[in-house]
Amino acid sequence: MSKSFVQLHNVNKSYWRDTLEIPVLHNINLDVPEGEFVALMGPSGSGKTTLLNLIAGIDRPSSGEVSVNGESVSRLSESALARWRSRNIGFVFQFYNLMPVLNAFENVELPLLLTKLNRRERRRQVETALSIVGLADRMKHYPNQLSGGQEQRVAIARAVVTDPRLILADEPTGDLDKQSAEEVMELLSRLNKEFNKTIIVVTHDPRAAEKAHIQRHLDKGELNHL
């Protein structure tokens, strides 16, 4: 078996509401090899998004360890974590989360502002990312001038523009019609196959999950094989 790229070891996560502890994830252990395409499935409230957030380093586990490519994410300081995210993670959200005042090109360019690339290099990378998602002709379009599927493709271009090795997608098809959902999953599958990106997708949709090589099921905060 190939070496783990994403590894969760005895991870627990609880939230506190006043003095009340609300457990979300129990003793999660997960190994994802590099270049894998994993679907995390489960009903609402099962902790899928929380798990994804822990891997992305936008939330911290209550106990246990999360590591990505050998880096212990849970031990990084706040600012180091922000830097780490910008270099290693591409994040795709359910509702695309594009900046409404920026056009497609500017939205995709946003993560590159955290790099040392000059304007010309940034332009080249943005154009490449938008070409990959098939929207090179929509660079000047604003989010409200795009369909839901196109918006999500712009969001995927934004996720890949810094060339991260890990792409995390939280319900990427949740807000899309059937055809757009298929296109988006096809695109993620292509990124996995052609560009060897490690992809972890949280989804409700069994059809969307079919594109993944591995499907894991979360129920009441516990992770099971399907």
Partner 1 sequence: MLLIHYSYKNILARKLTSLLTVFGIGLVVFVFCAVLMLSNGLGETLIATGEDGNAIVIRKASQTEVQSIIYRDVANAIKADAAIEKDADGVPIVTSEILVLINQNKRSNNKPSNVPVRGVTGMSINIRPAFKLVEGRMWQPGTSEIIAGSKVAESFQGCGLGETVRFGMRDWTVVGLFETGGSGFESELWGDIDQLMDAFGRPVFSSLTMRLANPEEFEVFRARLEGDPRYTVEVMREKEYYEEQSKFTTIFINAMGVTISIIFSLGAIVGAMITMYAAVANRTTEIGTMRALGFSRRTILFAFLTESLLIALIGGAIGVLTATFLRLVEVSTTNWNTFAELAFSFEISSEIVLYAFIFAIVMGIVGGFLPAVRAARFRIVTALRAK
Q: Quick check: 118 and 198 in contact, CB under 8 A?
A: no
Which single residue is written with the structure tokens 């395409």? 37
20: alpha, beta or left, given left = phi > 0 and alpha = psi -120 to 50? beta
C-alpha to C-alpha distance for 134 and 99, rounded to whole angstroms:
20
CB nearer to partner 1: give 89 or 199. Answer: 89
Nearer to partner 1 (CB atom), residue 8 or residue 168: 168
List binders of partner 1 among 109-138 (CB under 8 A): 109-111, 113-114
Query: DSSP label at 220?
Result: T
* 70 forms part of the interface with partner 1 (CB under 8 A): no
Q: Using DSSP bridges, classify how beta strands 63-68 and 4-17 pair: parallel, antiparallel or unpaired.
A: antiparallel
DSSP 8-state assignment for residue 189: H
Nearer to partner 1, 18 or 78 (CB): 78
Any idea what DSSP says for residue 97? Answer: -
Tokens matching residue 29: 């252990």
According to DSSP, residue 149 is labeled H
Q: Which one of residues 33, 34, 35, 58 is an interface residue with partner 1 (CB under 8 A)?
A: 58
Task: Examine residue 102 and tell whether it contacts partner 1 (CB under 8 A).
Answer: yes
Q: Which of 79, 118, 179, 225 binds partner 1 (CB under 8 A)?
A: 79
One residue of 106, 175, 182, 222 binding partner 1 per CB under 8 A: 106
Looking up tokens 């990124």 gives 191
Among the residue ranges 40-48, 64-72, 93-101, 173-181, the one whose residues contact partner 1 (CB under 8 A): 93-101
Residue with Cβ nearer partner 1 (87 or 178): 87
Contacting positions for partner 1 (CB under 8 A): 53, 56, 58-59, 78-79, 82-87, 89, 91, 93, 95, 97, 99-102, 106, 109-111, 113-114, 158
